[in-house]
Amino acid sequence: MAEADGREGDVSAYVCRSHGRKVRQRKTFSVLAVNFGTQPEPEHKDDVTVSDKVVCMDLELLKSKFRGTMLGVLVGDILGKPYEGETIISDRKKIDLQRKLDNLEESKSRESVMGFTDDSAMTYSVAESLIEKRDLDIIDVAKRFVENFFQEHYRGYGNGCKLVSNMVLAFI
């Protein structure tokens, strides 16, 4: 049993951030430990203890927060797209956004009213890789970036991304 913030429950995933490895598995909580090299790496997973630097979170709550974060990224990207790089927003652009929002509210079909940019496409690639690989695999993330770039090059990728995509293709 683990105790953190006065709550007690089985440890679901205990991760030493400095090593990035899952050390212990059980059911109820997802537990992330902060280890910045001040504690030695445990030799056996049973040697791991839950310290005061632990955050416990129910897995369903964690999934819900992840979904909410992804939705927030997408909505922010879509609503911010017309204003990207601008310091002053014209009345015309504000009216145009309001018209699109009204159209979205009235839309009965699933037709696209507003599109997302490369920011959401790349966020999706990172999330997809983390879910599939269960760790940060920068080679896999780079491959996904390149695949998305060539499938949807119209999303607003900058010239640097175009250059890097061609370079990544040469190495993978």
What are the binding residues?
117-119
Q: How far apart are CA 166 and CA 172, in angstroms?
A: 10
Coil vs helix vs strand at 54: strand
Q: Binding site for Mg(2+): what residues are annotated?
A: 117-119
CA distance 1 to 22: 17
What are 121's two structure tokens?
Answer: 């496409």
* CA dist., res. 96 & res. 87, Å (int): 17
C-alpha distances (whole Å) from 19 to each of 47, 78, 126, 130 are 15, 36, 20, 16
Cβ atoms within 10 Å of 33's Cβ, excluding its own: 21
The torsion angles phi and psi of 21, rounded to 5 degrees, stand at: -110, 145
